[in-house]
């Protein structure tokens, strides 16, 4: 534990002491960051048989890792370290903190492609935050097959508004067939669907960022017993509209299309749905 504390302290000291020229600043940050990550991996390996200790160390590391990168971003708003720190903080801090970092960046850093993309995600999530009305999208989705030999896919434009805002609570599931966490989430979604589906509630899964053919998406959905409404061939646009940066991602819409809750998973799905669907 003393070694770990020393390395964290050393990382901060090296970073601060060597931060002189832009090149030296970047080098110091990279070395300090790599030292922290290396220590993290070593400790996690050594604690692989002690789940409780591993969890405690992980939580401790994340707290210090966030603080390290927040300080780096704050102190380097005019150079590329702020961009690197922001990327390292992705998924670890709230949107409000991300906005604060971006707001302090120099004009040059604001032109960075990664920063532009993060800003677009922030704006999209603000526009589709809880309490906002849903934003519609249209997907050219496979809705069936022809009777020819061999059968050919039949495409049609499918809108989110075909389901949302029609008087039912709708659980929207962003997923993709290659996504392991998405596949593991399906039993939880299926349990909620089986329990609540009816006049008041329904589920829609939207496949995004697919890496294979639409047929793979269709076959995977069948294997996973996803018997609810499916929109395939989503590609990037639906996720971009809702600022989704990782999947699975769930959103619950009210009967009028209001966004009630987003970003929940696991056992929370049943809890969230049950609060609204009686």
Give how far Cα 143 sits from Cα of 31, 119, 157, Å: 52, 34, 9
**In the chain, pLDDT over 90 holds for what percent of residues?**
86
**In the chain, pLDDT over 70 holds for what percent of residues?**
93
Among 6-20, 203-217, 227-241, 254-268, name the one with the lowest average pLDDT.
Answer: 6-20
Residue 2 is predicted with a pLDDT of: 45
Residue 20 is predicted with a pLDDT of: 66
Which tokens belong to 93?
Answer: 């801090």
Task: For residue 92, count other CB atoms closer than 10 A to its CB.
Answer: 14
Residue 91 is predicted with a pLDDT of: 85
pTM of the model: 0.82
Give how far Cα 58 sits from Cα of 3, 7, 33, 44, 65, Å: 16, 15, 16, 8, 10
Task: For residue 268, count other CB atoms closer than 10 A to its CB.
Answer: 13
Residue 274: pLDDT band with limits 50, 70, 90: very high
Instruction: Return the CA Rg of the chain.
Output: 23
97-136 burial string, b = 16+ CB within 10 Å, else e? ebeebbeebeeebeebeebeebbebbebbeebeeeeebbe
- pLDDT of 15 higher than 60: no
Q: Looking up tokens 């329990």, which residue turns up?
A: 195
- pLDDT of 17 higher than 50: no
Cα–Cα dist 15/215, whole Å? 51
Cα–Cα dist 143/223, whole Å? 18
Cα–Cα dist 263/272, whole Å? 11
The pair phi, psi for residue 81, each rounded to 5°, is -60, -35
Torsion of CA 89, 32, 64, 243, to 10 degrees: 0
Please write the tens of the pLDDT for every residue from 132-158.
Answer: 999 999 999 999 988 888 888 999 999
Residue 6: pLDDT band with limits 50, 70, 90: very low
Cα–Cα dist 176/179, whole Å? 5
Please write the tens of the pLDDT for every residue from 179-236.
Answer: 999 999 999 999 999 999 999 999 999 999 999 999 999 999 999 999 999 999 999 9
Residues 6+ apart with CB under 8 A from 278: 200
Residue 146 is predicted with a pLDDT of: 87
């Amino acid at each position: 534990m003393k070694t770990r504390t020393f390395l964290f302290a050393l990382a901060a000291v090296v970073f601060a002491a060597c931060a002189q020229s832009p090149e030296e600043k970047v080098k110091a940050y990279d070395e300090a960051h790599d030292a922290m990550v290396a220590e993290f991996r070593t400790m996690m390996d050594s604690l692989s048989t002690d789940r409780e200790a591993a969890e405690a160390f992980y939580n401790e590391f994340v707290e210090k890792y966030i603080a390290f990168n927040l300080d780096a971003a704050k102190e380097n708003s005019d150079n590329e370290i702020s961009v690197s720190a922001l990327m390292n903080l992705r998924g670890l801090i709230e949107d409000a903190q991300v906005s604060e970092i971006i707001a302090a960046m120099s004009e040059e850093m604001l032109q960075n492609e990664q920063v532009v993309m993060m800003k677009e995600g922030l704006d999209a999530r603000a526009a589709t935050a809880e309490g906002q009305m849903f934003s519609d999208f249209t997907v050219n989705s496979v809705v069936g097959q022809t009777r020819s030999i061999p059968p050919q896919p039949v495409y049609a434009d499918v809108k989110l508004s075909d389901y949302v805002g029609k008087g039912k609570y709708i659980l929207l599931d962003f997923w993709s067939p290659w996504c392991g966490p998405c596949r593991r989430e399906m039993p939880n979604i299926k349990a909620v669907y089986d329990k609540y589906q009816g006049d008041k509630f329904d589920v829609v899964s939207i496949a995004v960022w697919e890496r294979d053919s639409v047929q793979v998406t269709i076959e995977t959905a069948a294997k996973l017993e996803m018997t609810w409404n499916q929109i395939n061939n989503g590609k990037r646009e639906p996720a971009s509209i809702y600022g989704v940066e990782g999947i699975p991602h769930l959103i619950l819409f009210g009967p009028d299309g209001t966004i009630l809750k987003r970003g929940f998973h696991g056992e929370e799905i049943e809890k969230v749905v049950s609060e609204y669907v009686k």
